[in-house]
C-alpha cells in the first residue's frame, strides 16, 4: 500500500512540480501552452481522485482486516516512512491474496487506461487549440506583417517622392549655383572692364585737363602780352594825336555852335511872329467881348424896363378895380 501511495504521489505531484519549474525557463507562448496542459492534467487528476480514494480505502480496509496491529499503530501512521523499511515490512509481514492483488491491478489498469485516454484526449484538444491559436497568431502576425509591409512601402514611396523632390531641388540649386557662378563671372568681367574704362577715362580726362590748362595758360599769356602792347601803343598814340583830336573837336564844336545859333534865331523869329499874331487875336477878342457885354447890358436893361412896365400896368389895373 505504501508503495502504491508513493507511486501515486510521484505520478501525480511530480509533473506539476516539473511544470512549475519549467514555466520560468520557457517562452511566453510555451508557458501558455504548458499552463493549458497543466490545467488539463489537473482536471484529469481531479476527475480521477475518487477512484484513487476508493482504491486507497479498499486497500486500507483489507490491510486493517488482515493486520489489525498495523492499523492500530499511531506512530507508524503519523510519522513518515522510509521506502526501504516499508518494502521490508511488506515483504516480511504483508501477504495479500492473489485476488486482491489482481483486483488492484485491474483497478490500476483501468485507472491508467482512463487516465491515458483522458490525457491523450486533452492533449489532442490542447494540440488542436494550440494549432488554432498558432494559426490565429500566424494570421495576426501575417496581417501585422502585411500592414507593416504596406506601411513600409508607403514610407518608401514617400521617401522616393521626397528623394525625387530633393533631387529636383538639388538640380535646381545646381542650376541656380551655375547661373550665379556665370553671373558672378560676367559681373567680374564687367567690373574689370569698367575698371579699365574708368582708368582710361581718368587718364583721358587728366590729359584733357592738362591740354585745357596749357591752352588757358597760352591764352592768358597772349592776352597779357597783347594788353602790354596795347597799353604801349595807346600811350604813344595818345601823345601824338592828342592835339589833333583837340583841334578837330574844337572845329566840330564851333560848327555845331554856329548851326545851333542859326537854328535858334530862326525859331525865335517864328515865335515872335506867332506872338504878334496871338496879341492881335487877343485884342480882337477883347474888343468883341466888350461889344458883346454892351449889347448884353442893353438887352438886360430893355428886359428890366419891360418888366417894370408890365408890373406897373398890373399894379395900375388892380388899383382901378379896387376904386369903384
Task: Please provide the DSSP assignment of 3-57 as one string.
Answer: HHHHHHHHHHHHHHHHHHHHTTTS-HHHHHHHHHHHHHHHHHHHHHHHHHHHHHH
Residue 294: pLDDT over 80: yes
- Kindly tell me if the per-residue pLDDT of 154 is higher than 60: yes
Mean pLDDT score, 136-140 = 90
Q: Which three cell numbers stand for residue 91?
A: 515483504
pLDDT of 238 above 50: yes
d(CA 126, CA 59): 35
Check whether 81 has a pLDDT greater than 80. no
Phi then psi for 13, rounded to 5 degrees?
Answer: -85, -40
pLDDT tens digits, one per residue of 33-49: 445 444 444 444 444 34
pLDDT at 146: 92
Model confidence band, residue 120 (pLDDT cutoffs 50, 70, 90): confident
> Measured in whole angstroms, how far is the alpha carbon of residue 230 from the centre of its chain?
84
| pLDDT tens digits, one per residue of 4-27 | 455 555 444 444 434 433 343 344
Residue ranges in the chain assigned as alpha helix (H): 2-22, 28-66, 68-71, 74-78, 83-92, 98-322
Residue 219, pLDDT above cutoff 80: yes
Residue-level pLDDT at 200: 92
Q: How many residues does the chain have?
A: 324
Q: What average pLDDT does the segment 55-74 reach? A: 41
Q: What is the pLDDT of residue 149?
A: 92
User: Residue 57 — pLDDT band, cuts 50, 70, 90?
Assistant: very low
Q: What are phi and psi of 27, to 5 degrees?
A: -70, 175
DSSP class of residue 79 equals S
Position 40 scores a pLDDT of 42
C-alpha cell at 149: 509591409
pLDDT tens per residue, range 240-277? 777 787 788 888 888 888 998 898 899 999 999 999 99
Domains of the chain, residue spans: 2-148
CA-to-CA separations, 210 to 202, 216, 218, 228, in angstroms, rounded: 12, 10, 12, 27
- The most confident of 75-84, 86-95, 125-134, 239-248, by mean pLDDT: 125-134
pLDDT of 122 over the 70 cut: yes
pTM above 0.75, yes or no: no
Percent of the chain surpassing pLDDT 70: 68
Phi/psi for 67 (5° steps) reads -125, 85
Three cell numbers, residue 212: 585745357
Between the alpha carbon of residue 26 and those of residues 15, 17, 40, 66, the distances in Å are 16, 15, 19, 50
- Greater confidence, 212 or 21? 212
Smallest CA-to-CA distance from 130 within 18, 34, 44, 16 is with: 34
The DSSP symbol for 72 reads: T
d(CA 160, CA 150): 15
- Dist CA 167 CA 87 (whole Å): 90
Amino acid at each position: 500500500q505504501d508503495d502504491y501511495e508513493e507511486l501515486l504521489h510521484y505520478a501525480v505531484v511530480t509533473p506539476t512540480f516539473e511544470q512549475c519549474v519549467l514555466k520560468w525557463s520557457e517562452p511566453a507562448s510555451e508557458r501558455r501552452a504548458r499552463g493549458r496542459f497543466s490545467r488539463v492534467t489537473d482536471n484529469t487528476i481531479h476527475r480521477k481522485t475518487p477512484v484513487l480514494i476508493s482504491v486507497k480505502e479498499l486497500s486500507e480496509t483489507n490491510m486493517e482486516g488482515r493486520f489489525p496491529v498495523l492499523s492500530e499503530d499511531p506512530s507508524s501512521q503519523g510519522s513518515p516512512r522510509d521506502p526501504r523499511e516499508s518494502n521490508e515490512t511488506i515483504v516480511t509481514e504483508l501477504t495479500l491474496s492473489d485476488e486482491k492483488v489482481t483486483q488492484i491491478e485491474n483497478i490500476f489498469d483501468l485507472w491508467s487506461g482512463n487516465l491515458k485516454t483522458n490525457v491523450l484526449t486533452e492533449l489532442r484538444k490542447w494540440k488542436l487549440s494550440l494549432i488554432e491559436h498558432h494559426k490565429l497568431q500566424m494570421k495576426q502576425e501575417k496581417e501585422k506583417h502585411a500592414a507593416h509591409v504596406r506601411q513600409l512601402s508607403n514610407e518608401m514611396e514617400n521617401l522616393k517622392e521626397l528623394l525625387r523632390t530633393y533631387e529636383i531641388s538639388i538640380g535646381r540649386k545646381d542650376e541656380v549655383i551655375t547661373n550665379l557662378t556665370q553671373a558672378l563671372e560676367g559681373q567680374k568681367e564687367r567690373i574689370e572692364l569698367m575698371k579699365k574704362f574708368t582708368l582710361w577715362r581718368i587718364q583721358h580726362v587728366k590729359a584733357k585737363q592738362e591740354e585745357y590748362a596749357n591752352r588757358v595758360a597760352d591764352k592768358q599769356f597772349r592776352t597779357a602780352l597783347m594788353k602790354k602792347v596795347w597799353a604801349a601803343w595807346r600811350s604813344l598814340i595818345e601823345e601824338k594825336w592828342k592835339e589833333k583830336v583837340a583841334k578837330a573837336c574844337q572845329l566840330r564844336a564851333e560848327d555845331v555852335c554856329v548851326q545851333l545859333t542859326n537854328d535858334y534865331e530862326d525859331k525865335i523869329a517864328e515865335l515872335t511872329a506867332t506872338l504878334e499874331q496871338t496879341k492881335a487875336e487877343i485884342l480882337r477878342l477883347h474888343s468883341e467881348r466888350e461889344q458883346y457885354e454892351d449889347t448884353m447890358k442893353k438887352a438886360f436893361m430893355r428886359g428890366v424896363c419891360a418888366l417894370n412896365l408890365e408890373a406897373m400896368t398890373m399894379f395900375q389895373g388892380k388899383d382901378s378895380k379896387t376904386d369903384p
